[in-house]
Structure 1
């Protein structure tokens, strides 16, 4: 699954007619200007210059200028990128997405407490006149008694209760509900409903309490939108972006992914570990559950927080795609049971990998409504929530445009309810789009490695933790990773450690060489991809030199890559042997000088096409002492569809062409 100046230059505007102009306030010296132009945005970039004390003197430079950079530090320089660069504009168009079934004619509606029949819409259903409709309310839930914990679908277990009939409306008393309506035992309409009732807090630690240890603690909500680069967020969701900036959200310009798809980028964020380390820590093999893994929500749970984990797709669930998920229930509020049942029974409008509609509603909207419902239910309690959208953003570059109004309204609703006054909200992605024509461009490759992150802090945080806040501003222009988000979440559990004197004391320690650094501490300006835990293949700091695809280096690297692919599938006899057909691109990464214990080496990134299946693969290979070795994992740049139907392993699906 599915699955980044020392001198001042004058900002130049695009030669088009502006519709409107928003000039946003200076935030502790971090100045942002967003020009919304016919539903698009021009971005002005900041350049690295001086320590925190001089933040107020940073100046804006135009992204049009050749010498500008996304970030520029002694350790990392990321080129300046324009959201509507000439090589990118041809891929940007408003998507034509089908509307959900019964979008305006649904037979049922609901609020937080009731479900009712919309009698005005009965006319849209093929029924005899003067027929009385009866509906069946069935609650369902995730049973605690498990008949077979070794089952591959243990995370999908479900149990339904008896039917309760109603012919007008019914009061809701459950979290997950299925309602079927009809006449004379003939069903004509079915829909699923997701609620967020107050429930007893799950506790696995006898010292845990519903009162947070730090009573001044903030709610913490992390919301992800799959597969959107930082600049594609600008292109496709300008209203949401503008609202975030208006509220003072801080954007991480140098946020670099650390793995290929969703799973290896969320495990560092949620567990502080690479996915390859999980075998040693808590996940010994692919058929193991994740119940023993050290998720950050466990720490919040022990500190007296309610916890929630919700995704808008069961099929593409982060811990279920090619994996078995959880045997126990990982959080107080967990939507997997609901989403799986809704996908199976009323999921419709399947668009490549996912159903985008749950009956008459988009699945992403179901998730947004659920998050709002939880915030209403738990307004007097503390909440840690992790929520992930995938259904509309995973497969197509432009589909997020459809969600822009909804996410903007979602933020407004949280703001108007004053929930944001006591909440740290982090809106982010895992990576940019990983396949399609845009990935064959230089900018598309960089964007895929540079997802977006916006951090919105309550006003009281800025006032109480000034040094930590200023460090976050400074770090917005440093090289950062999902490991740093994890350290930041840990810091939000211990707000005393964010007081000015504590921050000053912590910066005197040797934390600066850590792979995981809280964004409330100053990240060193000399930080490199190596010290940040980013493989060279994913690093956006390197300069590149084009090579001829006919060169010996390109040929050797490509042949080694295909050899490696065949080694990956050699123990899976149903996968075909792959042959090199074409070298599409070859570049040399200028990584820097070899480290002290290393001899000279070169790194070549190649893009190849193989047969059978016409798979397109990208990888970085290191050449040292006549030997080739892979520097990171292998990316697939085109969709594999049903080519890998014969394997279940989430990684092998990228490489296997089934006989």
Structure 2
């Protein structure tokens, strides 16, 4: 039987079985493993219905675990802090001090007479053409041993020196502090205390590049924490774009990356200010807002972009991190900035977030986004080193009262996109496309809105996307809504997407969830690598890529491609009649291949037309499976940077065979 006949036969079987399964009661979700009703012929699924089948993946297979490096947590410094910062709740201002016992210990160990310290304020430089990539610093001021921090000082860098009676001898400690200053009039606090259970606070915590599979594998203590009462895992959460930006954009604005271009070019100054970020809506609803992220070069909304012209949230960490990475000694680990001076890059973000929560969660509704790249972006095993440290922060957030009144989202943007062990393994397609997402609902919300929480529970094993998260954030500002028809506006690029607090359709396709075919994890695949049409498809893809370079006027900078090797060709098997291509002579294939020069490794989804041998594909949705860091320095645009092989970056072995 030919491959096409096999496909048609299986499609008919899928349609029949899909009709049958739609009549069955929905499966009861389990956080750790799929339920028995989602198993067929020994295969387990996290999502299984007439339109979508996302299989369970064992995180602990031998092929991954035997090659997994052991990473341990490392502090950046063993020194004790010379300067302490505390908030005075009576005065409602911060105090910094140099405790005598700490300074005396330093002096006794060296035989010197005194320690003297100075400080500089760090502010956002509004005179800079690109404020998100700049900072302004004050002159150095003397820091007394006890000082009340001025109310307009948000960030401070300190330096302490040992000295004798006449001479400054040497610097002994450099440090940095953030101050989440008071912005609340007393009447607002009093009003909030009367209606605190009307508006839930919302805090999003993100770890870059962590799949739901790898989270279980590398962070068992955190996984145990999010298995506690009140947490719900979105087991069918599927990314909608390649890297961080399109996924975060969809979650925070409801726009796809392509859709945002109708408003402005994100590479131009002031574009991000014009996009409808959800924190503006929370600000209009009298929430205090905050956004903090580590690793200057990898920031979700600033990577290869000018960022925000105006400060986007009430409390904003960007210019402080820019200053610290510029002024402090950096230590790299796991492929990124790990230590900034004496502290973890990660700590600056979550200390800032903890201050924000401690200061305001009991006084006013808050909305915050805390995002970290430093541990997880480049090394799939590195989250293991963060596990216990992150759990410690979660327990400190718990002690601060975060989980009493707040909706908390622990999420990622995508799984690992390059790793040789995980991404190139048998489950790499799913590892990349299925990031983690856990949503916590506080006790009062569970009691007041049991119907919404029940819906959230039902949605755990249904297909969901970043656009659904956006609609959920919208819903939390409109909790009197009776249905999705009451929530406005809808996600601009996904009118059918909806709040996770309303029941998602059991039978839901990627198209209905705003997920493009290339990122869709719903379809089983059948290997077609050895079919006669496999290599012609790969050659057609490479030709399409070369034609695209010409259309984008990149041929002066970027080298043409030639096919080096077709690694695999997988036929995507529709599980529903409505998922069929436009006619019987068209099929979707996932093409995994390498090109010359530089052995660039790509994956893309194409619509193959068997009569003409032609392919349709979208270069926005091509995946680069090995790092492009050494290949694409000649281009600044984000999407071409993924696939351009700069002519001045061609490696010697490829030049010899050109």
TM-score range, shorter chain: 0.7 to 0.9
Q: Map Cα deviations across residues 442-462 of structure 1 (whole Å, 9 max, x no partner).
A: 212211100111110111111
Counterpart of 1:46 in structure 2 is 35
Counterpart of 2:65 in structure 1 is 89
Sort the Cα spacing of 1:120 and 1:591 in 2 relative to 1 into closer, same or farther, 3 A.
same
Counterpart of 2:642 in structure 1 is 654
Structure 1 CA distance, aligned partners of 2:192 and 2:319?
28
**CA drift at 1:213:** 13
Sort the Cα spacing of 1:413 and 1:125 in 2 relative to 1 into closer, same or farther, 3 A.
same
Checking the alignment, whether the CA contact within 8 Å between 1:427 and 1:455 is kept in structure 2 is yes
Counterpart of 1:564 in structure 2 is 544
Checking the alignment, whether the CA contact within 8 Å between 1:105 and 1:124 is kept in structure 2 is no
Select 1:412's aligned residue among 390, 395, 402: 395
Q: Map Cα deviations across residues 81-121 of structure 1 (whole Å, 9 max, x no partner).
A: 11112332224332256642x34455544444344457758
Checking the alignment, whether the CA contact within 8 Å between 1:279 and 1:285 is kept in structure 2 is no
Matched, 1:639 2:627: yes
Q: Per the alignment, in what secondary structure is the counterpart of residue 133 of structure 1? A: strand
Structure 2 CA distance, aligned partners of 1:504 and 1:640?
42
Matched, 1:531 2:512: yes
Checking the alignment, whether the CA contact within 8 Å between 1:545 and 1:588 is kept in structure 2 is yes
Sort the Cα spacing of 1:429 and 1:164 in 2 relative to 1 into closer, same or farther, 3 A.
same
Select 1:515's aligned residue among 472, 496, 499: 496
**CA drift at 1:328:** 0.6
Select 2:568's aligned residue among 563, 569, 585: 585
Within a 5 Å distance, the mapping from 1:141-220 to structure 2 comes to 141-144=123-126, 146=127, 151=129, 153-166=130-143, 168-173=145-150, 174-183=153-162, 184=167, 186-199=170-183, 216-220=198-202
Counterpart of 1:382 in structure 2 is 365
Structure 2 CA distance, aligned partners of 1:261 and 1:578?
23
Counterpart of 2:521 in structure 1 is 540
Checking the alignment, whether the CA contact within 8 Å between 2:266 and 2:305 is kept in structure 1 is no
Structure 1 CA distance, aligned partners of 2:318 and 2:520?
34
Counterpart of 1:452 in structure 2 is 436
Structure 2 CA distance, aligned partners of 1:397 and 1:115?
39
TM-score normalised by length of structure 1: 0.83
Matched, 1:554 2:534: yes
Structure 1 CA distance, aligned partners of 2:35 and 2:380?
26
Checking the alignment, whether the CA contact within 8 Å between 1:106 and 1:360 is kept in structure 2 is no
**CA drift at 1:595:** 6.2
Structure 1 CA distance, aligned partners of 2:175 and 2:82?
9
**CA drift at 1:169:** 4.7
Sort the Cα spacing of 1:391 and 1:595 in 2 relative to 1 into closer, same or farther, 3 A.
closer
Within a 5 Å distance, the mapping from 1:242-253 to structure 2 comes to 242-253=224-235
Sort the Cα spacing of 1:545 and 1:340 in 2 relative to 1 into closer, same or farther, 3 A.
same
Checking the alignment, whether the CA contact within 8 Å between 1:213 and 1:304 is kept in structure 2 is no
Structure 2 CA distance, aligned partners of 1:326 and 1:304?
22
Structure 2 CA distance, aligned partners of 1:359 and 1:197?
24
**CA drift at 1:405:** 1.5
Sort the Cα spacing of 1:175 and 1:579 in 2 relative to 1 into closer, same or farther, 3 A.
same
Checking the alignment, whether the CA contact within 8 Å between 1:48 and 1:71 is kept in structure 2 is no
Counterpart of 1:275 in structure 2 is 257
Q: Per the alignment, in what secondary structure is the counterpart of residue 330 of structure 1? A: coil
Counterpart of 2:4 in structure 1 is none
Checking the alignment, whether the CA contact within 8 Å between 2:412 and 2:437 is kept in structure 1 is yes
Counterpart of 2:616 in structure 1 is 629
Select 1:332's aligned residue among 300, 306, 314: 314
Q: Per the alignment, in what secondary structure is the counterpart of residue 308 of structure 1? A: strand
**CA drift at 1:353:** 5.0
Counterpart of 2:118 in structure 1 is 136
Structure 2 CA distance, aligned partners of 1:122 and 1:357?
27
Runs of at least 5 residues in structure 1 that lack an aligned partner in the other structure: 7-27, 34-42, 50-60, 202-208
Sort the Cα spacing of 1:307 and 1:131 in 2 relative to 1 into closer, same or farther, 3 A.
same
**CA drift at 1:557:** 2.4
Q: Map Cα deviations across residues 134-185 of structure 1 (whole Å, 9 max, x no partner).
A: 21111121144x3x5xx3x332232222322136454433211111223545
**CA drift at 1:341:** 0.7
Checking the alignment, whether the CA contact within 8 Å between 1:267 and 1:273 is kept in structure 2 is yes
Q: Per the alignment, in what secondary structure is the counterpart of residue 582 of structure 1? A: strand
Select 2:223's aligned residue among 232, 235, 241: 241
TM-score normalised by length of structure 2: 0.83
Cα RMSD over matched residues?
Answer: 3.2
Q: Per the alignment, in what secondary structure is the counterpart of residue 280 of structure 1? A: coil
Checking the alignment, whether the CA contact within 8 Å between 1:588 and 1:604 is kept in structure 2 is yes
Q: Per the alignment, in what secondary structure is the counterpart of residue 250 of structure 1? A: strand
Matched, 1:365 2:347: yes
Counterpart of 1:598 in structure 2 is 582
Structure 2 CA distance, aligned partners of 1:369 and 1:467?
35
Counterpart of 2:378 in structure 1 is 395
**CA drift at 1:406:** 2.4
Matched, 1:71 2:71: no
Sort the Cα spacing of 1:30 and 1:405 in 2 relative to 1 into closer, same or farther, 3 A.
farther
Work out the number of aligned pairs and report it: 591
Select 1:354's aligned residue among 336, 340, 347: 336
Q: Map Cα deviations across residues 22-59 of structure 1 (whole Å, 9 max, x no partner).
A: xxxxxx996647xxxxxxxxx4223567xxxxxxxxxx
Structure 1 CA distance, aligned partners of 2:409 and 2:451?
20
Q: Per the alignment, in what secondary structure is the counterpart of residue 302 of structure 2? A: coil
Counterpart of 2:603 in structure 1 is 618
Checking the alignment, whether the CA contact within 8 Å between 1:347 and 1:356 is kept in structure 2 is no
Mean CA deviation greater in 524-533 or 351-360: 351-360
Matched, 1:292 2:274: yes
Checking the alignment, whether the CA contact within 8 Å between 1:46 and 1:71 is kept in structure 2 is no
Counterpart of 1:428 in structure 2 is 411
Structure 2 CA distance, aligned partners of 1:325 and 1:408?
31
Structure 1 CA distance, aligned partners of 2:637 and 2:582?
35
Sort the Cα spacing of 1:504 and 1:180 in 2 relative to 1 into closer, same or farther, 3 A.
closer
Structure number with the higher helix fraction is 2
Sort the Cα spacing of 1:192 and 1:563 in 2 relative to 1 into closer, same or farther, 3 A.
farther
Structure 2 CA distance, aligned partners of 1:159 and 1:297?
25
Matched, 1:473 2:473: no
**CA drift at 1:597:** 8.9
Structure 2 CA distance, aligned partners of 1:591 and 1:286?
40
Mean CA deviation greater in 87-96 or 396-405: 87-96
**Structure with greater Cα Rg:** 2
Within a 5 Å distance, the mapping from 1:464-503 to structure 2 comes to 464-497=448-481, 502-503=482-483
Structure 1 CA distance, aligned partners of 2:468 and 2:243?
18
Structure 1 CA distance, aligned partners of 2:207 and 2:173?
31
Sort the Cα spacing of 1:261 and 1:406 in 2 relative to 1 into closer, same or farther, 3 A.
same
Structure 1 CA distance, aligned partners of 2:218 and 2:239?
20
Checking the alignment, whether the CA contact within 8 Å between 2:122 and 2:137 is kept in structure 1 is yes
**CA drift at 1:475:** 0.6
Structure 1 CA distance, aligned partners of 2:636 and 2:161?
39
Checking the alignment, whether the CA contact within 8 Å between 1:214 and 1:495 is kept in structure 2 is no
Checking the alignment, whether the CA contact within 8 Å between 1:480 and 1:532 is kept in structure 2 is yes
